[in-house]
Structure 1
Amino acid sequence: MASLSSQPPSPCSPYPSSTTSNRIYSSFCTAKISNWIECYNPSNNLWDRITTIPGLIENRVLKGFSMVSIGHCIYIIGGRLCQKLSGHEPDEIFEVNVEVLQRVLRYDVVNDVWSKCASLRVPRFDFACTVCDDKIYVAGGQSKLSCARGTASAEVYDPALDEWKFLPNMNTLRYKCVAVTWQGKIHVVGGFAENRDSDRKVTSWRAMERSSAEVYDWENTKWELIRGMWQLDVPPNQIVAVGDQLFSSGDCLNAWKGHIDAFDGNLNIWNEVDGSHLETLSSPISTSVANWQPGKRLYLTMAPIGAQLYFLAGYRMPGEISRSTCNVHVFDTSADGDAWTSLEPIEEEGEKELCGHCCALSQPQM
C-alpha cells in the first residue's frame, strides 16, 4: 500500500500535454474490502488496481465523497464513513453509517504517495465539487447523519497554501447536487434543495429549487440563482463539460436514460444529442461486444477526455457463480456520424461497488 505522508502536500503542477497520457481513476469496494482505487488506461483498455485509500479499517467503506484531479494528483474529499455488517441470511450485508468526514487526502499517482491535506471547514457528503484554476470548490451536501437536510455552505481549497476558505453561502440548502466548471464559472446544479425566507427560516421543499442551479458571481462574490437549469425534480447523476458544452446522461435514480443530453444555455433547456442512443448501456452485459445478453447494471460513471465521453459500466453476469464484467463505451462529441465505440469488456470474479464518480487526469508517459 502507498505510504501516507504527514508532511503538508505540495501543489501538483500539470505536465505539458506533449509528455502526458490520459488515465481514468475510480474507487470501488466490496462487502468485505474497503475502498481501493483502480486506473483505466484508454490506450489499451486495461484496468489496474493501484492503491487503497488509507485510514480505513476492515469492513469500513467511504461513500458520498468527491474525487477530483489536479495535475498528476487525485484528491479524496469528505464523505460518509459506513460499516458493512452481516445480516441473518447468507450473503446478506447491510450498512450502518458511522460519521461524516472532514478529511481530505491527496494521492500522487506518479510517486505512489498519499498525503494528508487541510481538512474541510465543514464535514459533508453528497456534495457538489469541481476544479477551477487549479483550486477545488465544494458546496452543499449533508453535514449530519441525524438530519436529512442539506447545507448552503461553500468553500474553496488552494493546494499551493494547503488551505480551505469559506465562500458566501448559496441561496438554498441542497444536497446530492453536482458541480461543473463551465464558461469559467462554478455551477452547482440540482439536488434536493430547500429555500429560506427573509427571516432565514427554512421553507418546505419545492421542485422549483430542486431543478435550479447556482452560479458563483466572482465580481460580486455571491451566488446567483438560476431557475430551471436542470428541469427535473430528481437530482442529476453527473454533468460534465466538454469545451463549451455541458452533457448529462441521466439522474441519480437512472444513471443512463438511453441517450445523452446537451445543455442549451441560450434557451436554458436540455436537448437529446443526435446519435447518442446506445441500447447496450441500458441493462445488458456481454461476454463479447457482438454477443450481448440481458443482465443487471451494477454501476455507471463517465469522464470526459478531450472531445470524448468515457462511460465506465459494470454488469452482473448470469449464472450461479458471482461474476461481473467491466465495459467501456466511448462517445465522440465531435463526430458527425457513428459516434459510439464499444470496447471489449473485461470479465472479473465477484462483484464490486462503485463508491464515487470517476475522474480523469493526465500523467507522464512511463
Structure 2
Amino acid sequence: MGSVSTLSRHHCRRSQEEDSQRYRVYASFCGRNHAPNVNMSNWISCFNPSSNSWHRLASIPGLLENHVLKRFAMVGIGDWIYVIGGRHCLKYVGGGGSSVHENELGVLGNVQKYNVVTDTWRKCKPLKTPRFNFACTVADGKIYVAGGQTAVGSAEGTSSTEVYDPALDEWKSLPDMNTTRYKCAGVTWQGKIHVVGGFAKSGNSDTLGPYIMERSSADVYDPKLDKWDVVTRMWELDVPPYQIVNVDGNLFSSGDCLNAWKGHIEAYDGRLKIWNVVDGSMSPISTSDTAESNWPPMERMYCTMAPIGTKLYFLAGYRLPGERSRCRNEVHVFNTAANGGGWTCFEPIEEEGEKELCSHCCALKMMDS
C-alpha cells in the first residue's frame, strides 16, 4: 500500500510539472537606451518554460515611434492578453548625447487585447475612467480595476472602480472604495477583490499628509453584496506593495514599490494579519538595483513574478557591464508547496540592447490544439 501511495504522489508531482510546462509567461517591455533606427515603443515578449526561451511577439498597436505606455495593467483570460489604461510618454534623446529622457503626454483609458494563438489585436471598450498605477485583478472571468492616478503630475489617487465583462465588451461602474489609492496591489482572494496598500487617503478626510493607517489597509469588494469594506493592517508597511498574488488560496508578496525584490518571499497570515517570511525563500535574485553592490557588477533593470500552479515564476533582467549594450534575462522558480523543493533556476539568456519593464507580467495556459 505504501508503494502505491508513493507512486501516486510521484504521478501527481509529474502531472503538475507537465501541466506547468503548458504555461507561457508574457511581459511588456520598452527600449531603455537609445540606438540608431530603433523604435523604443512597447512590445510583448513571451517566456516558454518548456524550452527556456524568449520570443518577441508583437508591438502594442496605436503608439507612434518612441511613444511608450507605462504603469498599465496586463492580465490574461483564455487565449487573450488585455492591455488596460496606462501613462502615455514620449522617449527622446536630449542634449545632443545618448541619454534618454521622457516627456509625459497624458493618461489613457484605452483597452486592447492580443490573441496569443492567432497573433491578432482587437480594440475593446475603453475604461470609464482613464488611469495608471491602479489595482487590477481577474475574478470569475471578469476584470476588476480600482484606484490609480487619473492625471500626470498629480499625487492624488482615485476611489473609483469598475469591472469589465469580456463576453459583453462592457465596463460597468462599481461603488467607490472607502479610500483613494494609487500604486496599490490588486488580488482576488477568498472570493473577494482585495485592493491592498498604496498611497491612500480616507475618502472623508480633507487633510493632506502621510496617511499611514490607510496605506497599511485594504479595500475589499464583495461581488455578491456589491459593497466595499476596509480591512485594517493588511499590509503594515508605509511603502506600497509591488505585487501580491494568490497561490492555492495563500497570498504571497516579494517586494514593494521601492524594491521589487526584498531578498525573500512573504506569505500572509489572514488570522493574525501579518506577513511571514517563507522558509527557504532566500534566492540568488539580486537584492539591489545598483551596480556597485553586486558581484559581478550588474544593475537589475526589472523583476516581476507570475503564479503558475504552486510555483512562483520570477523574471529578472540585468544590465551587463561593458561598452556594448547588453542585458541578461534570468528566470527563478520557487515552489510554494510543502516539501516543494524550494528554488530552481533556468539557464540565463543574454541579448543585445537594454529594456525596461512597463507592467507586471501574466501567465496563460496553452490549450490543446
Q: For residue 265 of structure 1, what is the aligned residue in structure 2? A: 270
Change over 3 Å in CA distance of 1:154–1:337 after alignment to 2:
closer
Q: For residue 64 of structure 1, what is the aligned residue in structure 2? A: 71
Q: For residue 302 of structure 1, what is the aligned residue in structure 2? A: 305
- Secondary structure of 1:231's match? coil
Between the aligned partners of 1:272 and 1:316, the Cα distance in structure 2 is 29
Change over 3 Å in CA distance of 1:284–1:210 after alignment to 2:
closer
- Secondary structure of 1:209's match? helix
Between the aligned partners of 1:171 and 1:253, the Cα distance in structure 2 is 25
Name which of 349, 353, 357 aligns with 1:350. Answer: 353
Between the aligned partners of 1:43 and 1:19, the Cα distance in structure 2 is 9
Matched, 1:339 2:342: yes
Between the aligned partners of 1:25 and 1:258, the Cα distance in structure 2 is 23
Change over 3 Å in CA distance of 1:19–1:187 after alignment to 2:
closer
User: Quick check: which one's helix share is greater?
Assistant: 2
Between the aligned partners of 2:203 and 2:48, the Cα distance in structure 1 is 46
Between the aligned partners of 1:19 and 1:81, the Cα distance in structure 2 is 35
Name which of 232, 243, 258 aligns with 1:238. Answer: 243
The TM-score normalised by the length of structure 2 is 0.89
Q: For residue 5 of structure 1, what is the aligned residue in structure 2? A: none
Q: For residue 24 of structure 2, what is the aligned residue in structure 1? A: 23
Matched, 1:88 2:95: yes
Name which of 207, 213, 217 aligns with 1:208. Answer: 213
- Secondary structure of 2:22's match? strand
8 Å CA contact retained: 1:284, 1:294: no
> How do 1:80-229 and structure 2 match up within 5 A?
80-88=87-95, 90-197=97-204, 201=206, 203-229=208-234
The TM-score normalised by the length of structure 1 is 0.89
- Secondary structure of 1:294's match? coil
Matched, 1:249 2:250: no
Task: State the AA in 2 paired with 1:355.
Answer: C
Task: State the AA in 1 paired with 2:335.
Answer: D
The superposition leaves residues 122-144 of structure 1 with CA deviations (integer Å, 9 ceiling, x where unpaired) of: 00000000000000000000011
Between the aligned partners of 1:75 and 1:344, the Cα distance in structure 2 is 29
Between the aligned partners of 2:249 and 2:143, the Cα distance in structure 1 is 20
Task: Report percent identity of matched pairs.
Answer: 60
Unaligned segments of structure 1, at least 5 residues: 1-16, 286-291
Between the aligned partners of 1:338 and 1:293, the Cα distance in structure 2 is 27
- Aligned pairs, number: 342
Task: State the AA in 1 paired with 2:119.
Answer: D
8 Å CA contact retained: 1:317, 1:325: yes
Give 1:365 deviation, angstroms.
Answer: 4.9
Give 1:203 deviation, angstroms.
Answer: 4.9
Between the aligned partners of 1:322 and 1:73, the Cα distance in structure 2 is 33
Between the aligned partners of 1:219 and 1:342, the Cα distance in structure 2 is 41
Between the aligned partners of 1:147 and 1:253, the Cα distance in structure 2 is 19
Moved more, 276-285 or 304-313: 276-285
The superposition leaves residues 263-321 of structure 1 with CA deviations (integer Å, 9 ceiling, x where unpaired) of: 00000000000000014432499xxxxxx723211100000000000000001112222
Q: For residue 4 of structure 1, what is the aligned residue in structure 2? A: none
Between the aligned partners of 1:269 and 1:97, the Cα distance in structure 2 is 38
Give 1:28 deviation, angstroms.
Answer: 0.5
Give 1:217 deviation, angstroms.
Answer: 2.4
Task: State the AA in 2 paired with 1:78.
Answer: G
Give 1:117 deviation, angstroms.
Answer: 0.4
Name which of 47, 59, 66 aligns with 2:54. Answer: 47
Give 1:220 deviation, angstroms.
Answer: 3.1
Unaligned segments of structure 2, at least 5 residues: 1-17, 33-38
Matched, 1:327 2:330: yes
Give 1:44 deviation, angstroms.
Answer: 1.1
8 Å CA contact retained: 1:332, 1:339: yes
Between the aligned partners of 1:20 and 1:300, the Cα distance in structure 2 is 21
Q: For residue 321 of structure 2, what is the aligned residue in structure 1? A: 318
8 Å CA contact retained: 2:20, 2:308: no
